[in-house]
Amino acid sequence: MNQDVAVIGGSAAGLLTASLLSEKGVDVTLFEASRHLTEPKRTLIVTHQLGELIGPIHKDTVLNKIHRFELFADGRAAEISLNKPDLVIERSRLINDLTERATKNGADILTDHRFLDFRPNGSRLKIRVTNNGFANAKEVTTKVLIGADGVSSKVAELGGWRRHKTVGLIQAVVKLPADMPSDTTRVWFLPEDTPYFYWLIPHSSSEGVLGLISENIPKARQSLDHFIKRKGLKTLSFQSAPTPIYNRWMPFHRRIGNSDVYLVGDAAGHVKVTTVGGVVTGVRGALSVVDHILGKHNSPNIKILRCELEIHRMIRNTLNRYSQKDYIELLDQLKPSTIKTLCAYSRDESLKLIFHLCLRRPKLLLIGLRKYFLNLIA
């Protein structure tokens, strides 16, 4: 069987890549190891940029819209009202939506097919996949191979890419506090528990997910249980996932033999290291790969993606040194002009956000630079 493009993995980035290429008339086959593409439920919060990049999102995918953030640090509080709401989505429903788009555009999606390996074969690549119900491997030749197979990507490993460092994301589905509006996300900065933060994101009028990010999963679960108990909330279930951490830019394209191999999504490490959010950046990466395959090498998508990831890396390196006192000082600096900027620009528009913050509150830049350089010399 010969294919123009073979995509390994039915991730959001992989399905979007397959859909967009098929729409342009490219012959695409996507191989997914699972029998069903529907993933375990996981609640995600994304900025409005997702819809602007992929087009209309199916109404069943969006569980809720967030218009306001409440930030807390040891008794200090700040409120940010968003000009454009964030979207709370169900990951498995997003996968279903993108699967329908890819199929409609002509992509051939083969579930229950596990990727084994690949090797150069003349002007093409020969890949081996196995139907999980049968012992014999099937050989497929392709001109282009795309790894969309997640944080432990087999395509990346065989292609010689370095392995990503990972952290654990764990969140509990809880009953919302009686005083919490369903259009509001709450964030608590407690650096003694995590260098990131706790979040409580409503996905309905009565329930939400409360979670944190940590390099130590057992400790994270203990911290989360303790925090839930302190807040007097009732746990209904848990969700968790390993997530790659962006460290430095890694080219998503390699020539192997006479063929092209690409990575998208978590396989490429396209995750904002500040919030460990990878949906919008993963979409940017998919658009960049599609542009590259179609010969649009000067497309702005790759430049925007790299800029976003690097800025978030710098911010994360700064925040890693923040103490509780620093977060209190940070919230104290959120004057009306600062909050106005935070309302106007999302975390997926980091360059615009930082530029306008520096214009209106240069002291914030000085505080950040001080921590950043202390981190470099530590």
| CATH for 2-40+92-164+247-297 (1.10.8.100, 3.50.50.60, 3.40.50.620, 3.60.21.10) | 3.50.50.60
The residue assigned the tokens 């959001």 is: 12
- The owner of tokens 């259009």 is 183
Start-end of H helices in 24-173: 49-54, 91-104, 154-159
Residue 345, both tokens: 């620009």
Alpha-carbon distance of 240 to 257, in angstroms, equals 38
Q: For position 378, what pLDDT does the model report?
A: 45
Provide CATH code, domain 58-89+166-245.
3.30.9.10
Residue in the block written with tokens 């498995």 = 92
Only one residue has tokens 């890819």, namely: 102
DSSP 277: B
- In the DSSP assignment, the letter for residue 2 is E
- Comparing C-alpha atoms, which of 38, 45, 39 is closest to residue 203? 45
Q: Where in the chain is the domain with CATH 3.50.50.60?
A: 2-40+92-164+247-297
Cβ(204)–Cβ(183) below 8 Å:
no
Distances (CA, A) of 295 to 289, 299, 306: 10, 9, 19
Digitized pLDDT (tens) for each residue of the chain, 378 residues in all: 556 999 999 999 999 999 999 999 999 999 999 888 766 788 999 999 999 999 999 989 999 999 999 999 998 999 999 999 999 999 999 999 999 999 999 999 999 999 999 999 999 999 999 987 666 788 999 999 999 999 999 999 999 999 999 998 999 999 999 999 999 999 999 999 998 999 999 999 999 999 999 888 788 889 999 999 999 999 999 998 889 989 899 999 999 999 999 999 999 999 999 999 999 999 999 999 999 999 988 889 999 999 999 999 988 988 888 899 989 988 888 888 888 989 999 999 988 888 887 777 666 665 555 554 444 444
Q: Which residues of the chain are in CATH 3.30.9.10 domains?
A: 58-89+166-245
User: pLDDT value at position 376?
Assistant: 42
For residue 54, which of 105, 115, 4, 112 has the smallest C-alpha distance? 105
Return d(Cα 189, Cα 173) in angstroms, integer. Answer: 20
Position 375 scores a pLDDT of: 47
Reported pTM: 0.92
Q: List, in sequence order, every residue forming a beta bridge with 155; answer none if it has no partner.
A: none
Q: Give the model's pLDDT for residue 368.
A: 57
Q: Tell me the three state secondary structure of residue 73.
A: strand
3-state secondary structure of 245: strand
Q: What share of the chain is helix, strand, coil (3-state, %, to 5)?
A: 35, 35, 30
Structure tokens belonging to residue 80: 């940010």
